Amino acid sequence: MDAGKTPTVGRIRHDHHGWPRHGTHDANPPRPSGTSTPPRRTRAADMSTSGGSVRQRPRGVVSGRYRLAVASRSLAAVIGGYGCAAAFAAALAVALPLPRSEAVLWGTMLSFVVWSVAALWAFAARSAGRAWLGILLPAAVFGAVVLSAPAPT
Amino acid sequence: MKEGFRQAMAWLHTWSGLVVGWLLFAIFVTGTLTYFRPEITQWMQPELSTEGNTAQHAEAAERYLRDVAPVAQSWFISLPDEREAQLRVFWRELGPNGRFQRERLDPISGEPTSARDTMGGDFFYRFHFELAMPNPWGRYLVGVCAMFMLVAIITGIVTHKKIFKEFFTFRPRKGQRSWLDFHNVSSVLALPFHLMITYTGLITLMLLYMPSAVEVAYGGDSSALFSEAFPQQQGELAGERAPLAALAPMVAQAEARWGPEAGVSRINVQYPGNQNASVALQRGPGQGLSHETDKLHFDGVSGELLGESGALAPAATTRQLLYGLHIARFAPELLRWLFFVSGLTGCLMVATGLVLWTVKRRPQHLKSGRLPFGLALVERLNVAVIAGLPLAIAVFFHANRLLPLDMAQRADWEVRVFLACWLAALIHALLRAPRQAWIEQLVAAAVGCMTLPVVNLLKTGDHLPAALMRGDGVAVGFDLIVLACGTAFALVARAVYRRGRTVPAHAPRQAGGPSTVMSNADAQTG
């Protein structure tokens, strides 16, 4: 555990998820360069809209804005991701130049991959707004493909 | 930037894993047991015999169905084979919304079986994707868990920079580090299996979870999709009745073609008793990975061979392949054991992940002297699920031996005993301190497992040496596995007990540096 080597002995520094820095799911401690007093701002740090304030808070207490951002990203991942995947499946079903049953099966089988990617994106994006944008935009494109196709016979 | 991405993925890994972790553990455990569904059924129905051949079994089923449903929408006969001892028949009453019924038959007489009433291995199979909840809610919940699992696996991979090196790393007796190492090893060891089983699991119920494509292309009519993707020789229901031709000659023809080893495993009769009746015979597993096996189609009235099922189109082939991979009916014995072991590593992966979550957080809160509600809840749910579920399963097997044979709704009572025991484990875990709860429930699970062979001896007179003498692989395997599980639970219980007792002596050594935060990790173990 590198916590003790840092200048902040006896106190665990927290990242913006309210986690101790050494407690990421990474067996490798952060590089020594990262242990100097002003902690580097990382993209993960930017995930929180609450800025650097969380770092000073006691563990377990996070700002309301941070919670809102996480809730928003979670919704984007679950609801937005599902919508995007469903639109993707439907788009493939109508747009693939294959027999109808084949297009439906490919679309449905691959939709779960789309959902997974959308879920990852929701938490990898720089901000909650960008998370939504990156999911709704492709979903709209897929939706447009479905709507422009002729109605089922 | 790169580290930022990894941190975000680590966060997602932790939380997507935690939120559904307990259900995932139950799904993994019951799914792993389902690899031996027919064998578990055999153990739970010791009255079953495996006499007769396929043609006799088909005749027995036919006799019964001609009696109870001479005219029907469809019959479905699942024949016994070298693993499966049950003869099961299903039929749907005439009409688009005809009632679906089922019965288990004696494979020789064709009468409803006199073997004890139990769900057998089917209990684990159904629990695996329905969680003993009403349809379709359990299935939806399992689907949500599977999606979280998929995300947790992908983010888990992203999180690991040194996936190869960490695979060979285990640092025992180091508290959180040991849990992390063990979590890594159990995850990476069978990583392709975990990914495969999660994705293919979603595929098995994909039309329930993702109906949008069927909605736009077929107006929501999935049976139209199936008849196009998996063509069957389906006729229309004719106005006139006609007697169904005998099934045994068709079975004989099919066996002549396929050989008796991978012979007929299923018979599907469409519109029995109708002019346009048709019969499809499906070959048993063993040809390849796919769920799709050869089929022969017969005219249901003349009994004439109409033809063989053709090859499927690519997407349909892929779908059947993914489905087949998930249920692994194709797997011969050794491969089946490999799947079973992979499933066990999946259980360990989920369990160690859940424990790791608490081990990581507890020391920091211990210093402040106050545990937040969330952590306390996770600790207790971990006990109730990781130790409580195996205990409930052991008790389920006990119920199978101990409940009176002539009890009404006996199969339901077995399930009720299982659920009641699990609920009791939950209440116990909520009331006791986590360490005590771990020890007590693990000991209970160990005792529950290890007494199973004894109870079996008292109730059926069968025991391990006798099973060994007659070469009964199912009886031997069951006893050895429950004894091994019991030993494992006992050893873990002992480890938890010792760890707690020797804290002060070990604390300085464990610290091994400035990370004194770890010295209390022992207080929470399992």
pLDDT tens by residue, A1-52: 333 333 333 333 433 333 333 333 333 333 333 333 344 444 443 444 333 3
Q: Minimal Cα distance from B230: which residue of A?
A: A101
Enter the ipTM. Answer: 0.84
Read off the amino acid at residue A49.
T
Report whether the peptide linkage leading into residue B136 is cis, meaning its omega lies within 30 degrees of zero. Answer: yes
Partner A, chain B 216-245, Cβ-Cβ below 8 Å: 216-219, 225, 228-229
Average pLDDT, integer, range A82-88: 97
Q: Minimal Cα distance from A34: which residue of B?
A: B3
Residue B77 DSSP one-character state = E
The answer to whether B13 faces chain A, any CB pair under 8 Å, is yes
Q: What is the pLDDT of residues B111-145, one digit of tens each?
A: 898 889 999 999 999 999 999 999 889 999 999 99
Q: Minimal Cα distance from B174: which residue of A?
A: A1
Question: Is the Cβ pair A3, B514 closer than 8 Å?
Answer: yes
What is the least distance, in Å, from the CA of A104 to any CA of chain B?
5
Task: Specify the DSSP element, H or E, that contains A52.
Answer: none
Tokens of B247: 């099934």
pLDDT at A107: 97
Tokens of B145: 């868990």
Task: Point out the residue among A5, A46, A123 whose CB comes nearest to the CB of B11.
Answer: A123
Angle at A151 between CA A148 and CA A153, to 5 degrees: 150
Rounded Cα distance between B56 and B217, Å, is 44
Rounded Cα distance between B300 and B75, Å, is 12
- With 0.90 as the threshold, say if the pTM is over it: no
Taking each helix axis from N to C end, the angle separating B473-501 and B388-402, rounded to the nearest 10 degrees, works out to 140
Question: Is the Cβ pair B217, A152 closer than 8 Å?
Answer: yes
* Three-class DSSP labels, B211-235: CHHHHHHHCCCHHHHHHHHCCCCCC
Angle at B260 between CA B258 and CA B263, to 5 degrees: 60
Partner A, chain B 159-198, Cβ-Cβ below 8 Å: 159-162, 166, 169, 177, 180-181, 184
What is the least distance, in Å, from the CA of A128 to any CA of chain B?
13
Torsion of Cα atoms, B346 then B348 then B351 then B353, to 10°: -80
Choose, out of B13, B212, B226, B366, the residue to mutate when testing the contact with A (most A CBs < 10 Å).
B212
User: For chain A, percent helix, then strand, then coil, each to nearest 5?
Assistant: 65, 0, 35
| Count of pairs with CB atoms under 8 A, one residue in A, one in B | 175
Reduced to 3 states (helix: H, G, I; strand: E, B; else coil), residue B403 is coil
Question: Is the Cβ pair B517, A60 closer than 8 Å?
Answer: no
Read off the amino acid at residue B317.
T
What is the least distance, in Å, from the CA of B206 to any CA of chain A?
7
Rounded Cα distance between A13 and A9, Å, is 9
Question: Is the Cβ pair A149, B216 closer than 8 Å?
Answer: yes
pLDDT at B161: 67
Question: pLDDT under 50 in chain B at which residues?
Answer: 1-2, 503-526
Rounded Cα distance between A97 and A106, Å, is 12
Core vs surface per residue B355-383: b (16+ CB within 10 A) or e: bbbbbbbbbbbbeeeebeeebeebbbbbb
Classify residue A135 by burial, with Cβ atoms within 10 Å: 0-12, 13-18, 19+.
buried
DSSP string, B421-444: HHHHHHHHHHHS-HHHHHHHHHHH
Q: Minimal Cα distance from A47: which residue of B?
A: B8
pLDDT at A151: 63
Reduced to 3 states (helix: H, G, I; strand: E, B; else coil), residue A31 is coil
